[in-house]
Structure 1
Amino acid sequence: MPMRNLKLVLAFLLPFSLLALMPSVAHAADVNPMITYSDNSGLNFQAIPAQWPKAGASKYQWYINGKPVPGATKLALKATPKQKGQRIQFRESQSGVTSASVVAKIGQIIVNINPTITYSGSDLNTATLTPGTVSPKASKVTYKWYKGPIDIAGATNVTYKPATGDQGFKIYVNAKYSFKGFSEVLVNSNEVEIPVVKRIYQQLWAEEFNGPAGSLPDPSIWSSEDGDGSKAAAGGGWGNRERQYYIPSLAKITADGALNIQATTDGANQYICYYKGPCEWVSAKYITKNKIGFKYGRMEARIKGPVGAGTWGAFWMLGADIDSRKWPWCGEIDVTELVGKDPQLNYGYLHGLLSGGFGGRGTTVAMPDGFADEYHTYAIDWLPDQIDWYLDGVLFGSQQKLDKDWVFDHEFYLIMNLAMGGNLGGTIDPKLNQAQMSFDWIRFSSINGLGEVIKR
């Protein structure tokens, strides 16, 4: 063979020769070995071998308390009663690679594979738990879902629909396994972060109070709820020992396109109040009941609050079914309460089945510059499982659907009023003889398409 051709053949064969001389690369097991009980004694074990990428000879070894058990090189192992509670593990080696089982305790339920949560982008409404692999197989399991360190009330199933309040948090499941004759064990699933859904608002309705100056609120939207409450279900004082008598003429549109509600002592004594004498104050209260209602969405209003101890201005909502389901079963949502004795504080509260007569559930936020000198925007985001409160666009409070107190799943109507005294208003300043609050506008929007205006 000519030398030139020989060189070409050697050049072609050399890479294959070197490849043959290289050692084969060992691969880790696809599935680690598992350990199981072969009976209900809690002492007899049977290992399930690992699954390897390629078939090959395996070597087995059992370990107790981290030390190899002499002669324990088979798939089966019998522990002694004295070894109960000690740590046990099975290891399998192939081609120099070792794959190990979980570390369990003798006489305790073995969890070879923890429960796993799946929460995919194609089904963002429900998180699903895949059960773990345990021995004994007949072990009873109970689940508890958690948001960070907080257990989620009532979440004990293999599926969970994340609430609005879960957004931005990681959730996981704690599984508790039990079986007669074995020690119970607690394990956690993987964590899944619930993404924050951006809220997109679309205005559906507005009351801008742009009627003629001096006119009363639009009668197609508003009705005056007159009197001292004696003829209402709440009873005299509107259930709060309030001192005013409502009349329609004290809420009027201004030339600036706002609604001004006035409270005054002037002319109050021509009315008789529940405290069995001439009324001390007159004011105004308007509602949208039986005319327009709302369900879910963002409700907001631009308001200038009242001045003076004893004043109690409010923009709030009551369940439209109040005639058949009395308060608090119907539900109450206080978008804002502006109380003159606390001129730098804004209240945002709910009143439901459990909390109604006990102060409600909610919070307050400080207003360093007060609520009476300038207009401020008060809003709620009302969702099926959560209500959030905002002051001038800043979130300051939130309440979640937790128990039977949550009755905020149906139509509500609006209320705007200026009360005097009462349980929250407190003692009226004896030098005070008039007060007022103003509404620049009220607006309602859907949130990500959720929100309904109900016209009667």
Structure 2
Amino acid sequence: MEKLMRRASVALIAALAMSTLIPSSGSATSSSMVTAPSIAPIAKGMTVLATPARWSSTAKSTYKWLLSGKAISGATKTTYVFTTKQRSKSLQFIETATFPDGTSLQGKSNIVTLGQVFVAGELTIDFKDDQHKALKVSSGAMVPTSAKVTYQWFNGIFDIPGAHSATYILTSSDAETEISVQASYTAKGFTTLKKNSNSILIPKTVYNYSLIWSDEFNASATNTVDPKIWVPQNSDGTAFDNQGWGNGERQWYTETQSQIDSSGVLTINAARSGANVFSCYYGTPCEWISSKFVTKGQVGFKYGRIESSIKGPVGQGTWAAFWLLGADIDKHWWPVCGEIDVTELMGGRPTTNYGTLHGIRSGGLGRGGTVEMPNGFSSEFHTYAIDWLPDHITWYLDGVAYKTVEKTDDDWVFDHEFYLIVNLAMGGNFPGAVDSSVTSATTAFDYIRVYSINGVGEVIKH
């Protein structure tokens, strides 16, 4: 509320300070004021200089100065030298023009606060580029010239944290809101001047999507994933120096637990049966077998819309995921490499869809959101997607956005190549233990598609 009152008061003062035209005689005149009078302090000393008005016809002008609204005796010239005692008081210049026909007009200048930093003209903002990605500040000459200026940008009446430069880079959350800036001018021996700019309504960004890569999982002679795209990660994680895949999971991955059917759907089957032929990190025969595939070293991606049509699993402890890891993971271990979870679907929470980022700061907790699915995710296919751009990631369920995370700090490690992952895990720290009644589980992928967004999006083939 204080910020709202502050901005309203500044707007009122600005309106009152505008130069005005007032008829000073009862007779109508055909003359007019072309430009209003204005005043400004001279850079050095304690002198204020007036620039008289311009009139549409020849006129004889007389002048007077007002100090705090009262006429100053003897002040009838275009300069005024103020005293130390008059500091912090308001000063205004009045010009009365008399025309040959006997009519007259009066013009009022802007108002100056004596001893305060002075800035000529208005503080304005405008778009810095044709793409409307940033705003810039324009401000007039300062008196004294040694004055310093600081900025605070606003979204509506709320200040934007960390936005203190003369340029503001717009984010997705600014769409359809009004952005403005307040400038504070300071100088030694002068009182501070604060000015508010105009506001600009930020238009909603229209996204155009172009398909740049896809895997439709079309049936082949082998009914398996394309080896030019997908690599199986057959292990309990030990072979990748990541026992239990970092989550205490209970499965051994093997590509034999997946197949592509005649309708072009990749299905991953998790089963207890057959798992005991493998020895797991927890010191006994494995409890589960399932499948996991990655595009690491085959195909990478940087930015764009990443989308898949998926049918989730059933049963407590089941955990299907469509996600990405930073392609530099062998050099920068998790979470420094970054992780983007397009979706995580756990049978123990059959109506909840999770979308999460994991970075340096957020680590295992991550940053993201959830959305509820009243009819669940296991009975039919749903579309899960992210719009991944240089300044934010937005999650979608069936084409409806439900969460956006902005690039705000060093937790953002998402400006490099990532690779895709599809898997069905069983048990672990996140979904909890697998219920004893669950003997098998499946998750299915109809397609995976990648689009550029307004030309932003890259496929890296190795």
Counterpart residue number, 1:87: 90
Alignment of 1:345-384 (within 5 A): 345-357=352-364, 359-384=365-390
Counterpart residue number, 2:281: 274
Structure 2 residue ranges without an equivalent (≥5): 1-26, 99-103
Structure 2 residue 72 is the aligned partner of structure 1 residue 69: yes
Once residues 411 and 214 of structure 1 are traced to their aligned partners in structure 2, the CA distance between those partners, rounded to angstroms, is 30
Which AA in structure 2 matches 1:47?
A: L
Normalised by the length of structure 1, the TM-score is: 0.86
SS of the equivalent of 1:423 reads coil
Matched-pair contact (CA < 8 Å) for 2:53–2:95: no
Alignment of 1:36-55 (within 5 A): 36=41, 39=44, 44-54=46-56
Once residues 243 and 73 of structure 1 are traced to their aligned partners in structure 2, the CA distance between those partners, rounded to angstroms, is 92
Structure 2 residue 319 is the aligned partner of structure 1 residue 312: yes
Counterpart residue number, 1:33: 38
Post-superposition shift, 1:178? 0.6
Structure 1 residue ranges without an equivalent (≥5): 1-21
- Which residue, 265, 287, 293 being the options, matches 2:272? 265
Give the % identical residues. 46
Post-superposition shift, 1:81? 4.5
Counterpart residue number, 1:413: 419
Query: Which stretch shows the higher mean deviation, 386-395 or 150-159?
Result: 150-159
Which AA in structure 2 matches 1:444?
A: V
SS of the equivalent of 2:239 reads coil
Counterpart residue number, 2:114: 106
Post-superposition shift, 1:23? 5.9
Closer/same/farther in 2, CA of residues 120 and 238 from structure 1, 3 Å limit: closer
Closer/same/farther in 2, CA of residues 352 and 78 from structure 1, 3 Å limit: same
Matched-pair contact (CA < 8 Å) for 1:29–1:99: no
1:102-137 CA distances to partner (integer Å, 9 max, x unpaired)?
A: 434333323342322232784634433222333223
Closer/same/farther in 2, CA of residues 104 and 24 from structure 1, 3 Å limit: closer
Matched-pair contact (CA < 8 Å) for 2:53–2:107: no
Query: Which stretch shows the higher mean deviation, 100-109 or 313-322?
Result: 100-109
Counterpart residue number, 1:391: 397
Structure 2 residue 445 is the aligned partner of structure 1 residue 439: yes
Query: Which stretch shows the higher mean deviation, 399-408 or 296-305?
Result: 399-408
Once residues 426 and 218 of structure 1 are traced to their aligned partners in structure 2, the CA distance between those partners, rounded to angstroms, is 32
SS of the equivalent of 1:278 reads coil
RMSD over aligned CA atoms reads: 2.5
Structure 2 residue 189 is the aligned partner of structure 1 residue 181: yes
Counterpart residue number, 1:339: 346
Once residues 131 and 264 of structure 2 are traced to their aligned partners in structure 1, the CA distance between those partners, rounded to angstroms, is 47
Post-superposition shift, 1:66? 3.0
Structure 2 residue 119 is the aligned partner of structure 1 residue 116: no
Closer/same/farther in 2, CA of residues 23 and 184 from structure 1, 3 Å limit: closer
Larger Rg: 1
Closer/same/farther in 2, CA of residues 49 and 307 from structure 1, 3 Å limit: same
Once residues 323 and 121 of structure 1 are traced to their aligned partners in structure 2, the CA distance between those partners, rounded to angstroms, is 39
Matched-pair contact (CA < 8 Å) for 2:353–2:370: yes
Normalised by the length of structure 2, the TM-score is: 0.85
Counterpart residue number, 1:211: 219
Once residues 308 and 444 of structure 2 are traced to their aligned partners in structure 1, the CA distance between those partners, rounded to angstroms, is 10
Once residues 94 and 334 of structure 1 are traced to their aligned partners in structure 2, the CA distance between those partners, rounded to angstroms, is 73
Closer/same/farther in 2, CA of residues 445 and 88 from structure 1, 3 Å limit: same
Post-superposition shift, 1:334? 1.0
Once residues 94 and 430 of structure 1 are traced to their aligned partners in structure 2, the CA distance between those partners, rounded to angstroms, is 97
Matched-pair contact (CA < 8 Å) for 2:152–2:182: yes
Counterpart residue number, 2:147: 139
Which AA in structure 1 matches 2:228?
A: S
Counterpart residue number, 2:309: 302
Counterpart residue number, 1:15: none
- Which residue, 239, 249, 271 being the options, matches 1:231? 239
Closer/same/farther in 2, CA of residues 334 and 123 from structure 1, 3 Å limit: closer
Alignment of 1:152-171 (within 5 A): 152=160, 154-171=162-179
Closer/same/farther in 2, CA of residues 181 and 307 from structure 1, 3 Å limit: same
Matched-pair contact (CA < 8 Å) for 1:245–1:279: yes
Once residues 54 and 358 of structure 2 are traced to their aligned partners in structure 1, the CA distance between those partners, rounded to angstroms, is 61
SS of the equivalent of 1:269 reads helix
Matched-pair contact (CA < 8 Å) for 1:113–1:134: no
Once residues 32 and 129 of structure 1 are traced to their aligned partners in structure 2, the CA distance between those partners, rounded to angstroms, is 26
